[in-house]
Copies of this chain bind each other. A is one copy, B any other.
Amino acid sequence: MNFKSIFVCLAATLINGFCLAQTNQTAVVEDFKTSSTTQSGKQYPQVNSEGRVRTSILAPQALKVQIDIGAVKYDLIKDEKGVWTGESAPQDEGFHYYQLNIDGASVPDPGSLYFYGASRWGSGIEVPAKDQDFYALKDVPHGKISQNLYFSKITNSQRRCFVYTPPDYDKNTSTRYPVLYLQHGMGEDETGWNVQGKANLILDNLIAEKKAIPMIIVMDKGYATKPNQTPPQAGGAPAGGSGGFSAFEEVMINEIIPMIDTNYRTKADREHRAMAGLSMGANQTIQITMNNLDKFSYIGGFSGTSNFPSVAELDPATFSNGKFKDGEALNKQIKLFWLGLGTKEPNPFPGSVGAFRAMLEKAGIKYVFYQSTGTAHEWLTWRRDLFQFVPLLFK
């Protein structure tokens, strides 16, 4: 604990009667900088070379202000002007959702950009990763992200779908492209992959280096229920909002894919159609692709499998109505079966993905297993998955 930490702790003790967050901290490295997720023109939040997140907020009458990140709350310390400042313990590289707590109120940090995750719009922070170059915004040709609004008869609701088209899509006006359907996780929505996922930049960079075949990526919302299945949600905006997903497979097969094949220049066959997703989206991917192998030949499960949350041993003869039992036939149909996992993922993911892998091996189904080093159930794991997965598609 350096002099400043001691002083800060002393001040915290005087104000709050105890010193919470600082006691277990070693010296904080004073090389904080604003993050790519700090609002332009704002001074905080900042991140240092250890991955600590520091924020600061004027709250003269507040009794207690905390930053709540990675399921831990860290106390901020008040100065004589009523400005509260403080930092978290070092965080993993990559993107994290967080919030502030002001006298018991959980609120977004007014200095950060906002993202949809944890079933809410709220603050996010980017801790620079050593390998961040692969998703950096570079001066290479960029694809477009298009917002498509459409009415879904199955759910009787307005929906929104984001579509990435590669850099040359509008120039090569007779070329047709393969399609990757890419799904978000629970509590996230159709904005996830093109904002915090950086899917567009990952593809732009891979295509510029000729490491991936130019392709279309479709990012829709993984929630879909029929009108009689759930009460209408608050708000009414097509953006955001979690919900059930009992009708998602039907929406994907009967509405989304036909819409994309009608409105975009796709190669509309199973050889040129992939699906991948993260967490809940991985579970959905495996279920939908295995139920529709006439429509898909590439499968990507990032941090999730269709046995979630069970870690129990699976028998290929009976699991999922025996869909996985004939390994030899499946190996002919499936061009790529990809599973990914971060090395720091919490339970039940290591166990449930492990049980699923064991089942694939028992059935003799070929698959690729990718591990993201030092990342948990978070976006850097999934950005890396996408970066490694996409070069294997449509070749």
Contact = CB atoms under 8 A, between A and B. Distances in A.
A113 B237 contact: yes
Interface stretch (A31-39, A210-218, A374-382, A384-392): A31-39
21 contacts: A39-B121, A39-B235, A40-B234, A40-B239, A41-B120, A41-B234, A42-B120, A57-B107, A59-B102, A59-B103, A63-B63, A102-B103, A102-B105, A110-B122, A113-B121, A113-B239, A142-B149, A142-B150, A149-B200, A170-B263, A173-B173
A34 B137 contact: no
Contact of A34 (B146, B158, B235): B235
Residue among A61, A119, A121, A139 with the highest chain B CB neighbour number at 10 A: A121
Interface residues of A, number: 65
Nearest to A109: B107
Given A61-B103, A103-B102, A142-B148, A234 B120 contact: no
Contacts of A264: 170
Interface in A109-168: 109-110, 113-114, 119-122, 137, 139, 142, 144-151, 158
B142 A144 contact: no
Contact of A120 (B34, B59, B110, B150): B110
Interface in A237-282: 237-243, 263-264
Residue among A139, A158, A235 with the highest chain B CB neighbour number at 10 A: A235
A245 to B, nearest CB: 15
A102 B113 contact: no
Residue among A106, A110, A173, A233 with the highest chain B CB neighbour number at 10 A: A110
B234 A61 contact: no
A348 interface: no
A64 interface: yes
A292 interface: no
Contacts of A105: 57-59, 62, 65, 102, 110
A148 B144 contact: yes
Contacts of A236: 34, 36, 40
A149 B137 contact: yes
A43 interface: yes
A113 B240 contact: yes
Interface of A: 34-43, 57-65, 82, 99-100, 102-110, 113-114, 119-122, 137, 139, 142, 144-151, 158, 170, 173, 200, 233-243, 263-264
Counting every copy of the chain, the complex holds 2
A65 to B, nearest CB: 8
Nearest to A64: B61
Contacts of A42: 120, 234-235
Contacts of A158: 137, 139
Residue among A34, A38, A103, A114 with the highest chain B CB neighbour number at 10 A: A103
Contact of A147 (B41, B106, B113, B145): B145
A308 to B, nearest CB: 22
A213 B112 CA distance: 40
A102 B110 contact: no
A79 B104 CA distance: 14
A41 B242 contact: yes
Residue among A35, A148, A237 with the highest chain B CB neighbour number at 10 A: A237
Contacts of A102: 59, 62, 102-103, 105, 107
